Amino acid sequence: MNQLSTMFWKKWISNASEKDPSPVLNELRAVALSDVGCVRANNEDATRFIRPATREVQLNKGYLAIVADGMGGHAAGEVASQMATEVVSKTYYQREESPEESLYFALAKANRLIWQAAGRNSRQKGMGTTCTTVVIRATQLYVAHVGDSRAYLYKNGQLIRLTTDHTYVQRLVNDGVIKPTEAETHPERNILTRAMGTHNKVEIDVEKPGYLFEEGDRLLLCSDGLYDYLTDDELAAWLNLETLSESAQQMIEEAKVRGGHDNITVLLIERISPDESAVVRPTENLDLL
């Protein structure tokens, strides 16, 4: 069953301060779509986008987007991905450090709690999840990442991948054993070298990309159930469609037409002009699972 949620919100920044010397008007629009696919019995993906209720938190911590793709027997993968989205989002906003440090602590805590939960319940033993998280603070992006879910920036007609897969095949590419084009169809491309919850500690990639999130740009966060079936050129073409809803729906449907052997989750975010936001109803509380 398709689960489509469309969210609209605004962030107004006024009165210059030391942290934000030039007042900027920021508007964001987003769509999330998650589909069980054509083969799986249940959906082990989870996604969430958070808009802080107060202006102060918006300025200091920004907005937060997450996609997690769970794995494990029974319903354990679903448990792990839900835990990741909940713990990361709560912990990130509780921390007072920089966005990068807060993201690191949030993912580290989620990893530890998933690991502990798996140890207490034999039915959840071995469960884990990917976790790809993007913070948008004004025009700056911050990315934290474990696993093979991905984040892309669509900017000026170009698709830019913001994450590197933590997979066996990506390691082969890094070592020069195979070419990137070979990795796309390699039979072992989905074997993870890192996942949250499978060990007490995990290496977390946290970075501040050298790209700003500006008017007309779009962000795509997705699970491997999407990009396994679509090339970068195809993703770019769908991201260029007029509306986010149309982009998300068509990408999901095409992935299903081509097999849909895994759950498919898409979270799209765009920055729009002040004129466009005039007809958008702000959403104060956003809690999408």
- pLDDT at residue number 3: 41
DSSP states of 84-99 as a string?
Answer: HHHHHHHHHHH--S-H
**Low-confidence residues in the chain, pLDDT < 70:** 1-26, 73-74, 274-289
Phi first, then psi: what are they for 121, rounded to 5°? -130, 115
Per the rule left: phi > 0, alpha: psi between -120 and 50, beta: everything else, 6 is: beta
Class of domain 3-277: alpha beta
pLDDT in tens, 105-157: 999 999 999 999 999 998 899 999 999 999 999 999 999 999 999 999 999 99
Domain boundaries, the chain: 3-277
Residue 28 Cα distances to 45, 148, 158, 268, 277, angstroms:
23, 26, 20, 10, 8
The single residue listed with the structure tokens 């795509």 is 220
β partners of residue 31: 6, 268
* Contact call for residues 262 and 225 (beta carbons, < 8 A): yes
